[in-house]
Structure 1
Amino acid sequence: MPNLLFICSKNQWRSPTAELLFKNHPLNQARSAGTGDKARVKVSEKLLAWADVVFVMERKHRDILRQRFASAIARKEIVVLDIEDNYQFNDPELIGILEMALVDYL
């Protein structure tokens, strides 16, 4: 069962919405975190070690991970979803975008 980690800035809207898509999923487990100081759940080496695949909402999140956690992500698959911070939690449009981007995992 692959572990999927979703990352945005504050872990308030985009990444928790993605995590929710995988609640009770039979094949994948998901968690979410944020890169910012005010993130609800902050990304950590422990979370990155848990993850098999890391999804970031924007390139800047990937860059932050590379700066802060270079050794923890050295062999991780990191997928940039290119989803800007224009959505609220559980926004139907955001869910649709995530479902299309994550079709291979859902």
Structure 2
Amino acid sequence: MPAPTPSPRQLLFICSQNRWRSLTAERLFDHHPHYQARSAGTEPGARVRVTAGHLGWADVVFVMEKKHTDILRQKFAAELAGKQIINLRIPDKFQFLDAVLQDLLRERLAEHLPSFTTGSSQ
């Protein structure tokens, strides 16, 4: 009998507006066999604003800047208990699906997600 396939890890990507950085990161995981990804923003005008539900769903939370960690901890301390938050240190200077942004995301994520490059459709 084959070993059960591990369930996909659930990744949440956070930036300010959820229009460029976090949305691009989410798209990198479309149809990935090992990971499911969602994205949200911290600002009131975000395309999708982060909620306690997003944080409850996620196994790992990736933020683009330290300020996003600070905002999440201030607003969602209880929901973040026991959650890993990883700062990718990606500045807000890229457009959606920018090739340089995608390369930077792949580089920064590879050290945290061992199955990312092997199962990536990109």
Q: What TM-score bracket applies, with the shorter chain setting the length?
A: over 0.9
Q: 1:25 is matched with which residue: 8, 23, 32?
A: 32
- In structure 2, the residue matched to 1:46 is 53
RMSD: 0.6
TM-score by length of 1: 0.98
Aligned partner of 1:82 in structure 2 is: 89
For 2:18, give the aligned amino acid.
Answer: N
User: After TM superposition, which residue ranges in structure 1, 4 or more long, deviate above 6 angstroms?
Assistant: none
For residues 76 and 41 of structure 1, the distance between their equivalents in structure 2, rounded to whole angstroms, comes to: 21
- 2:68 corresponds to: 61
Q: 2:93 & 2:64 partners in 1: Cα distance?
A: 11
Per the alignment, residue 93 of structure 1 pairs with 100
Offset at residue 74 of structure 1 (A): 1.3
- AA aligned to 1:9 is S
Aligned residues: 106
Unaligned runs of at least 5 residues, structure 1: none
- Identity level (%): 56
Structure 2 distance, partners of 1:74, 1:97, is: 28
In 1: Cα distance, 2:88 partner to 2:109 partner: 9
Larger-Rg structure: 2
Work out the CA distance in 1 between the residues paired with 2:41 and 2:96.
Answer: 14
Length-normalised TM-score, structure 2: 0.86
1:36 corresponds to: 43
- Alignment-derived partner of residue 17 in structure 2: 10
Consecutive unaligned residues in structure 2, runs of 5 or more: 1-7, 117-122
